[in-house]
Structure formats: structure tokens, C-alpha cells
Amino acid sequence: MIIRSKAPLRISFCGGGTDVLPYLAERGGVVLNSTIDKYAYGSLRLRDDRSITVQSLDYDIMAKYHVDDEMQYDGKLDLVKATLKLTMNGNKQGLDFFIHSDAPPGSGLGSSSTMVVALVGVIKHWLRLPMTDYEMAELAYRIERVELAIQGGMQDQYAAVFGGFNFMEFGPSGVIVNPLRVEPEIVNELQYNLLLCYTGRTRLSGNIITTQVEAYARKEEEVLHAMDEMKKITVELKNALLQGRINDFGALLHEAWINKKKMAKQITNSTIDTLYDVAREHGALGGKILGAGGGGYLLLYCPFDKKHLIAAELEQLGGQIVEFTFENCGVQTWEVRG
């Protein structure tokens, strides 16, 4: 028997960074995001012996362990090791794991966190673990942020578990995921006007987030103001989306990007600035770099009659246009018998 899972990657429209400790505990954070039709996949196959093998199909990396081994975190498939440690509950079954993703780590689409959700999902399905969606997302967060001490926020795990358009609230008492009932014609119009462009480079998001956290700890006024403004804009974006004010949504993305760049200097660079400025010069109303910044995917809101022109200009500069659609489902699991 083989058990498979897929968890959707996400686009964060606004609020990313306010979901990071200690800001969220002290001032509360909000994020508006949606999942898309790009995924992290996990497959689990039971073995007849007591070995555990893990194979990354993306990077052609394979590791083998014995069920009684204490797995060391050494930078090689640590997400899988930590997931096994926190979910197996002493189970000594031999396993084969296969993992792959539609986007590399550092792309800004939440791929690492989404992979953890896919792994938790496949083990939950196999062991019939009685977890709610909130408990599943919290466990995925604990695996990555606590067990492995990887810097980052909370939105990615919850987006991958819940799926769809969500307005998320983060605070000392916990997380509240508010699913948004966006009218289909609004979703279609938003998607028709959005352009997703790969900048050609990835980055280590943890380094950028560390800089942001340190600036917040020093109570730098510009950073504090930018993060507070991001929360206000996130609410305005949510309202514009629900009310179908799509052009206002695009203009608010630009306001959000101006504030996001103030949170850490590494969030942007000359490549990102050039792509963004050219897009604006040719008609884009707004946009932002996805994730922590520094590279990965650039999201742009373009009036429909300018979108093809902007895409051509970005490709001339080395950008890669990526087609996508919104995904309503969160993590899914299924069995293959044979």
C-alpha cells in the first residue's frame, strides 16, 4: 500500500511578517493569502524490514536509516527527520518516503512549510491520527519553527492545511483562520489581472526574517510603523476583495509593497526593483515580492489590456512568467493499493 498527499503552496497578498514572533504576541498580526495550484507532495510506502529511506525526487537525494537510529539534524532532509520524530510516537514500522515540490525552497510560495504539512498529512492518514485542521497546522509549525528552529512566520502552515482564500489573525491566544467567501466572478477577475513572475533567484528567508525581528526588538520606529501599516492595509485588501473592488486591490498591493520594503533592507534588491519598476512603467497598478523577499516570485496586478505587454517586458529582463490558478482545497491524502 502507498499513501500519498499533496498540499497547496500559497500566495500571500499582505501581512507577511506580522505573523512572526515576537510581533504577533505583542501587537497581533494579520495576513491575507490564498493557495494556488502548485503543490508539495509526499508518498509513504510500508516496508517489510525496519529501514527508513527518504528520497527527494527534486534533488535526487536519498538517505537511509534504521528505525532505532537517532536521526541527526545535519541539513540533509531535516524536515522529514523532524516530522518522523514528532509524529511516529514510537512506531517502529519500516518506511519509504518520497517527496517533491512544484517550487524550490526560497521561492516565496511557502514551499518548505507546505512540505511539512504534506508529510504530516501522509502520516496522519497512515496512523489515523485524530487531529483537527488547527492541530495539524500547529504541529507543522512546531516541527519547523521549534524543533528545527527555522526562522519564519505562521501563515504558511495554516494556508497549506486549510486552503482557499483566508484572512488569518495571529495573537498570544492563538490563530484564527477566517475563510473568505469570495464570489467566483471576483476570483476569476482577480486571477485574470494577476501576473506571477519568477525572478530567477531564490533566497534564505530565515536571514531576512532575523534582520526584521532584530529591528523590531530594537523598536526601530520605521519598522514598527511599516508593520502596523501592513496590518491596516491587509484589512483594506480583504474588504476590497470581498466587495469586488479589484482595481483598488491592485493599488493597495503597491501601498503594501512600499511598507514591506521598510521592514528589512534585504527584502528587495536591484533585480527585483528593476522588474517592479518596469512593470509599473508599463501599467501595473501594484504588486509585491512573495514570501520574506530577496528573490523568488514577484506578484503583479496588471489591467487586462496591459498584462501581455508587461509580461513581454519582464521576460526581456530575464523574468519567467508562471501560469497559475487559485486552489480551494487544502492538504489532501489518498491511498493507492497494488
**Catalytic amino acids?**
156
Q: Which amino acid is at 323?
A: E
Burial of 313 (0-12, 13-18, 19+ CB in 10 A): middle
Interatomic CA distance for residues 204 and 217, integer angstroms = 21
Shortest CA distance to 314 belongs to which of 326, 298, 303, 290?
Answer: 298
Q: In what order do the strands lie in the sheet with 297-301?
A: 286-289, 297-301, 194-198, 320-321
**In which region does residue 124 sit, left (phi positive, over 0), alpha (psi from -120 to 50) or beta (all else)?**
alpha
The per-residue DSSP string of 286-317 comes to EEEE-TTSSSSEEEEE--TTTHHHHHHHHHHT
Query: What's the first-to-final CA gap in the chain, in angstroms?
Result: 6
Among left, alpha and beta (phi > 0; psi -120 to 50; other), residue 98 is beta
**CB contact at 8 A, 13 and 33:** yes
